[in-house]
Amino acid sequence: MTASSIPFGGATRRSTRGIEKFPAWALVLTVVAGLALGVAAMFSDASVGIGTALVGLVFAGLLVLYRPHVGVIVIMSTMLMSYPAALRGVGPFTINNLLGISLVLLLAFQLYRGHDYWFLKEPEIRLLIAIALVLITMQQLNKLIWPDIKYLLPKVQKSGVQAFYGEVDVSGRWIFELLSRIAFTIFFVNWIRTPRQLKWVLYVMSFCILAVIPTLGPDMVKGEAEYRITSKLVGWAENINRFAFMMNVGIALFLYLAISTKPLLGKVLWLLCAVGSLPLVLLTASRSGFLGLCLVGLLLFIGDELPRRAKASAVAGGLVFALLVFFFVLTDAHRERLMNLNPFNAEQAMAARVEGARSTETRVVTLGEALEIITAHPLTGVGLGNFRWVNAYLNGSYKPPHNSYIWSAAEGGIFTTLLYLILFGYLYRRIQKLRPKYTNHPVLPHFPNWLNTYLMLFFFFSIFADVWLEVHIYFIIAFSIVLSRWALDDELRGRGLPGTIAGTPGARRAAVRQLYRPREPEPA
DSSP 464-483: TS--TTSSHHHHHHHHHHHH
C-alpha–C-alpha distance, residues 199 and 306, integer Å: 20
- CA-CA-CA-CA torsion for 379, 383, 384, 388, nearest 10 degrees? -120
> For residue 32, how far is the Cα from the chain centroid?
40
Residue extents of the structural domains in the chain: 122-490
8 Å CB contact between 231 and 216 = yes
Q: How many residues does the chain have?
A: 524
The span from the first CA to the last CA of the chain, in angstroms, equals: 40
pLDDT at 512: 54
pLDDT of 285 reads 84
**What pLDDT sits at residue 100?**
84
Q: Which of 287, 402, 277, 278 is nearest to 336 (CA)?
A: 287
pLDDT at residue 492, as a whole number = 76
Beta carbons of 142 and 171 less than 8 angstroms apart: no
Which neighbouring-strand residues pair with 433? none
Q: What are the phi and psi torsion angles at 191 (to 5°)?
A: -120, -5
Secondary structure of 67-80 in HEC code, one letter for each residue: CHHHHHHHHHHHHH
**Helices assigned H by DSSP within 377-502:** 387-395, 404-412, 414-434, 447-461, 472-494
- Residue 423 makes CB contacts below 8 A (sequence gap 6+) with 124, 127, 128, 131
Geometric angle at alpha carbon 422, from 417 and 428, rounded to 5°: 125
H-helix or E-strand containing 89?
A: strand 89-90
* DSSP-derived secondary structure letter, 262: -
DSSP H/E element including 158: strand 156-158
Helices in 284-356 by DSSP H: which ranges?
Answer: 287-302, 308-328, 332-339, 346-351
d(CA 276, CA 266): 15
Nearest to 165 by CA among 482, 500, 402, 396: 396
Contact between 5 and 491 under an 8 Å Cβ cutoff? The reply is no
Residue-wise pLDDT tens for the chain (524 aa)?
444 433 444 444 444 444 445 566 555 666 666 666 566 666 666 665 566 656 666 666 667 777 888 889 988 988 888 765 555 555 666 777 778 888 888 899 888 888 888 899 999 999 999 999 999 998 888 878 766 666 666 665 555 555 555 555 566 778 888 999 999 999 999 999 899 999 999 999 999 999 888 877 765 444 445 677 877 777 677 788 888 999 999 999 999 999 999 899 999 999 999 999 999 999 888 888 899 999 999 998 888 888 888 888 888 898 899 899 988 888 888 888 888 776 656 555 555 555 656 777 788 888 989 999 999 989 988 888 888 888 888 887 778 888 999 999 999 999 999 999 999 999 999 999 999 999 989 999 999 999 999 999 999 999 988 888 889 999 999 999 999 999 888 887 777 666 665 555 555 555 555 555 555 555 55
